[in-house]
Structure 1
Amino acid sequence: MDLGKIPNDKKLNLCKMYFRVGFAFLPFAWAVNAIWFFNEAFRKQPPYEEQKQIRKYVICSAIGALIWGIVLTSWVVVFQIKRSSWGEFADSISFIIPLGEP
């Protein structure tokens, strides 16, 4: 979709919708929102009335996606390192149980 063809008020509504969808544990929506609306929020000239609100949603979406990325990466690292020592609990939360160390 070309954002240049959409009126500014609809851009704001779309940006707001992606931001709200991210709260449903969908950090990918926040990442898409931050990337897709970055130029509208920070580079679009001349400035327009809705741009300040779009900038707020883009910044919050980028921060939310970054925090989720850090949390998910931390969980994966901890789980991979500690899985064998967690025993039966780790097996019960694993989708695939790797062969090897008991």
Structure 2
Amino acid sequence: MDLSKVPNEKKLNLCRWYFRAGFALLPFLWTVNAIWFAKEAFVAPHYEEQKQIKKYVIFSGIGAVLWTIALLAWIITFQTQRAAWGEFADSISYIIPSGIP
């Protein structure tokens, strides 16, 4: 979608929708929102809705980074501690690797 052809009010509504949808445990939408609207928020000539778009872009970027950090921490912790957690780790695993008793 070419954002240059979209009216400013629709840009704001779309940016707001992506930001709010990210709260439904869809942090990928925050990443898309931050990347997609970055030029509109920081590079495009000033227009009335730009201040609100900038706010949503910044918060979307922060949310995406925080989710990435949390997900990475969980992946590292689980991968390194799975064998030590024993039966609990087996119960939360979808695929149980073989080889470590």
TM-score computed with the length of structure 2 as normaliser: 0.99
Unmatched 5+ stretches in structure 1: none
How far is 1:98 from its partner? Answer: 0.7
How far is 1:99 from its partner? Answer: 1.1
Moved over 4 A (4+): none
3-state DSSP of counterpart to 1:90:
helix
Residue in 1 that maps onto 2:59: 60
Cα RMSD after superposing both structures:
0.4
- What are the equivalent positions in structure 2 for 1:1-102 lying under 5 Å apart? 1-45=1-45, 47-102=46-101
Identity of aligned residues (%): 66
How far is 1:101 from its partner? Answer: 1.2
Aligned length: 101
**Counterpart residue type for residue 88 of structure 2:** F
TM-score computed with the length of structure 1 as normaliser: 0.98
Unmatched 5+ stretches in structure 2: none
Deviations, residues 10-42 of structure 1 (Å, cap 9, x unaligned): 000000000000000000000000000000000
In 1, Cα distance between equivalents of 2:26 and 2:52 = 21
In 1, Cα distance between equivalents of 2:26 and 2:91 = 24
